[in-house]
Amino acid sequence: MKIPASAGLALALATLLAAAVPARAQLLFSTPPAQQARLGRPFPAALLARLQQASRLGLRMTRVPQPLYLKAIAGPTLGRPPALLYVGAEFCPYCAAQRWGVVLTLLRFGRLTGLTYMLSSAHDVFPDTPTVSFTGARFDSAVLALQAFETADREQKPLMRMPAPAQRIFRRFDVPPYTAFAYGIPFVYLDGRYLLTQPMISPGSLSGMGWGQVVAQLDDPRSALFAAIMPRVNLLSAAICRVDGGRPAAVCRAPGVAAAGAALARLPTAAH
């Protein structure tokens, strides 16, 4: 059948427009080149030092978050020293937000190196949430171990595989009634004693920021971000102090951690 010239022109225009829509959508949801270029590169020591300073400042904050966002459990330990198990993925915006609080907490208990620049997926809710990745992280501490697994990269391709003990814990405790739904991330498990059931901050609170801006906000006691995250960092710190014998004393006896610890002591243990 021969197509009239006018119909052929219309068909050609429709084809061009159909091809243009995905291209336009890709532009709308693409990561700026300057940010893209940093992904996977080492997170600067200067920014990590500012996070260390921010973490120390947070020890003075005695406000206890409500609800507590920690659940007391009775589960298997991860060895000695006690360990914090983190399971997340680089594409996940809620993991992106959670890592800032986890980093601020870890910096109180040891030396953290090997972090890299990362953004959450450009195609998910809260696109391009600024964060770091634990893919190459190393944590040196006499009182706490870190087991961190980024299970998928920013494009949702498989990345790090959990060993069998971590997989068993994840499958047993990342389900109701311990969590609101099954196998969600981020998952933070503290040596068989506690689960962190919510991100410490919302990814929306980081919207529109770059990495340096996030660090500047976290290092400013007058900022809303500092006020939101530090009580939860103190709560997780208090939980670690309860499993590691109260070390280091400078952290575990600090006003903010002591206040969080008093609230933590009243938590009932969740039963399966």
Evaluate whether 80 touches 247 at the Cβ level (below 8 Å). Answer: no
CA nearest to 72, candidates 199, 173, 202: 173
Specify the pTM: 0.88
Each residue's pLDDT tens digit, 15-68: 333 333 333 333 346 788 989 999 999 999 999 999 999 999 999 999 998 888
In the numeric block, the tokens 């997926």 are attached to 121
Each residue's pLDDT tens digit, 128-162: 999 999 999 999 999 999 999 999 999 999 999 99
Tokens of 77: 């330990």
CA nearest to 39, candidates 205, 190, 154: 154
251 CB contacts (<8 Å, ≥6 apart)? 59, 108, 109, 237, 241, 257
Each residue's pLDDT tens digit, 196-236: 999 999 999 999 999 999 999 999 999 999 999 999 999 99
Give bridge partners of residue 189 from the DSSP assignment.
85, 195
Residue 147: phi and psi, rounded to 5, are -120, 105
